[in-house]
Amino acid sequence: MKWRLFDYVMGEQWAVETFKAYDIRGVAGTQLTEAFAERLGSAIVTYLSCKSLAVGRDIRESGPLLHAAFLKGLTSAGCDVHDLGICTTGALYHATTALTVDGGVMITASHNPPEYNGFKMCRGTAAMAGDDIQELRSVFEKGDFCSGEGGIIATDGFLDAYIEHVTSCADAPQRSVKVVIDSANAVPGPFMLDLCNRLGCEVIDLYCDWDNTFPNHPPDPTRPENMVDLADAVVKHGAEFGIGIDGDGDRIGIVDENGVFIHPDRLLAVFARDILSRIRVGARGVERTIIYDVKCSMALEQTIEAAGGIAHMMRTGHSFLKQALRENPEAPMAGEMSGHFFFNDRWNGFDDSLYATARLIELVARDNKPFSALFDGIPTYPSTGEAKVPLTAGRQETMDAVREAYSNMEYSAVDGVRVRYPDGWYLCRASNTEPILVMRAEAGTEESLASIKTDVEARIGSIINLEKFQNS
């Protein structure tokens, strides 16, 4: 490869603040321009020293222009592009394992409002995050890129083969399942309908047509307010359950047959319990380890351990959990409170809404019990909501002060501070994307929860305005 200095006007101000912890994300047309996308394409080829990449996009209005500019940057840096066109993030992840590529990029802003767009990136099959993204930012800013003549490689039939692969990696349902699918008019809709039809489901279609204005509700299925229409449809049609899909197809949320919203960590407990029930006698510890993030309920830990598993808590972030599974390939599963589910069991470790759906349908179809019966034996504890508390001082100094306030108690510092109380826990972590502290608490009883909130106020109320936490 030859090298070139990117030929835009020297001194141009690029929106480098869009380089986040897990991806690149910002407002299209102002932060993420065509020039930005072209420059990013050249930067990622240079940073990864790659010869070929898979690229997909969602349905956002800005997608075609950013996609074209990005491909121009890739090919001008000497990279061949397997162009998947419109697809889900799960399909892009699959492409990194199924095609002869050095990585992949999905052009998407997931659940963000319509004016946003972004780039999720993989080095090989590993999602880029943290230091990788900041090192890419340095290459992007420097502008000294390699050059060459890359081309576009056709991928006809790939998406059909991908959905067929999803179905082949889950057991065929033992009966037909009646389900409502709500895709919030985002990209996964037609692909989800195709999957469910192949699985023999009776499907009620809710907002599965594409509309990049998201006219009905935001494509974020882990917020109960976005699941109201789904809940109503499940009850109206007598469906067994409902599935909501996020904007790019790597997360799901669910409601039961009564329209009751089910928090993702409870679904993770169901998946974990099922997997652990099939683990061979005498399996090593790593084969029984279920990984989850710090925001999950203590009921998940209890369910994992009761099923003979080992509960391993780690920092929040889909890229970090995928990396943990890559480093521990015998660990069967990981999951997040945000609705990401990562299966190593019969899958490739990626978070994919289609595969999570296939596995859930497999579970439901084993008998004729109500969907809510899946959660029998998994306790429900009083908890706060996820409070977003303004960060008014420095991130590091604030978290140092919180740690000092809890220095006489047992806590985990794997991601912020998660304090263990006799009958519950409290979490305080600094957001990776916003100037806020994310707080949550849970306890065995309402009285214990109130006691935890009182103690939190006494310990850190003088340094942090806890109004949003106390009212959550």
Instruction: Give the residue numbers marked as catalytic.
Output: 25, 110, 340
CA distance 165 to 159: 10
Q: Which residues contact 452 (CB under 8 A, 6 or more apart)?
A: 421, 424, 425, 426, 441, 443
CA distance 136 to 200: 44
CA distance 114 to 267: 29
**Amino acid (one-letter) located at 182:** D
CA distance 59 to 114: 10
Q: Which residues contact 459 (CB under 8 A, 6 or more apart)?
A: 405, 406
- CA atoms 49, 52, 56, 61: torsion sign: positive
Tokens read off for 110:
């997931």
Starting at the earlier edge strand, list the strands of the sheet with 241-245.
Answer: 202-206, 178-182, 241-245, 252-255, 261-262
Tokens read off for 101:
């590529």
Tokens read off for 342:
């990562």
153 to 71, 97, 146: CA distances (angstroms): 12, 16, 20
Residue appearing with tokens 């679904």: 267
What are the residues facing 127 on neighbouring strands? 122
Nearest to 137 by CA among 124, 128, 146: 128
